Structure 1
Amino acid sequence: MSDPTGRGVFLSFEGIDGSGKSTQARLLAEALRATGREVVLTREPGGSPGAEEIRALVLQGDPDRWSAETEILLFTAARRDHLERTIRPALARGAVVICDRFADSTRMYQGLSRGNLRGVVDQLHALMIGVEPDLTVLIDMDPEVGLARAKGRQGVEERFEDFGADLQRRMRAGFLSLAGEFPERFRVIDGARSPEAVAGDVLAVVGGALASV
């Protein structure tokens, strides 16, 4: 386990906007629940009452509303509350925690793509969070296709989508680089297929990880 206080399994999904990771996180949760496992499906930013309030601050409004440095602090605060109130209690009782985004998204969005702040993100993470997922599933997707999907949702949480395709291209490259940096934790899955085909690959990867824990 990544968290020495827990007995459960911590899984995260990452990917650019519109990659389908949220759908895959939900499908995996449904599949694991069908086997009798307790599953906590959560998300970032968010996943606890306080963190959801911060989510509204960072995902809505003008793209230039916050600096990258301010965003790092906001995301870290949200993640700490999420960890204390949702993730750690679930792991302690043996649940499978499936999180739609975790610290890797902050490493990319604020730490890499909006400035050379990766070191700041990692320092704050080590100081205030100190937990990594047991397994991270990266759903890889063409940036233009992903952005079109994301904008097609027409929701209110489009602040990062509004940065445009260039950010999405840098994000994709950054996520793939991160997967190479942490190959023992990351599994990269091609998202440019039907949701059912992608879900089959996800379940196979996660099933192998669960069997070894």
Structure 2
Amino acid sequence: MTPPAEFAQEHDQLLEVVRAKGYQRRDEAFQLASGEYSHDFIDAKAALSHGRDLTVACDLMLKLVAADGIEFDAVGGLTMGADHFSHGIALLGQKHWFVVRKAPKGRGTNQLIEGTAIGQGTRVLLVDDVVTTGGSILKAYDAVQATGAQIVAATTLVDRGDRASRDMQDRDVPYYPVITYSDLGIEPVGQGTSAA
């Protein structure tokens, strides 16, 4: 998905930030958290470690969703990839934030979802930083859906493949990747890439 023309300047600015501060091309293929292999490493946390760059990213995510008339009450996703976007979008959009743990804490409230309470009647925007096969955002989707909340859209900073887009489409969730593998000029991941 290409962002609408009115957002081209912010999109291009973020693309340059990711290329300059968060992208490395490696000679040897390495294994990603998804299990796939790639020569292209993307570190969105390093890329957006300055407040100025994170603000641009969160603002653009908000604008992409709003351009389609989508409204939401709470924003969040799987820790750690979603944390900075959850907080930044909540601040800019004056929304509630939450994070989904990878597993319940095992003590205290023993919750899987921390932050604002979500449930029936809550409209949720899912967020993530770098999506490869979509495993993290789907784990967050399942956790949020189990609360009874309505997932109205999902957005990511970088999508390295096509699988997450298809998975969100199958779930009738509008999906807004800010930067795609084609924007970065890299090969998509999740197409059966081997370590060779």
TM-score by length of 2: 0.33
Q: Going by fraction, where is strand more abundant, 1 or 2?
A: 2
Q: Going by fraction, where is helix more abundant, 1 or 2?
A: 1
TM-score by length of 1: 0.31
Instruction: Identify which of structures 1 and 2 has the higher relative contact order when contacts are C-alpha pairs closer than 8 Å and 6+ apart.
Output: 1
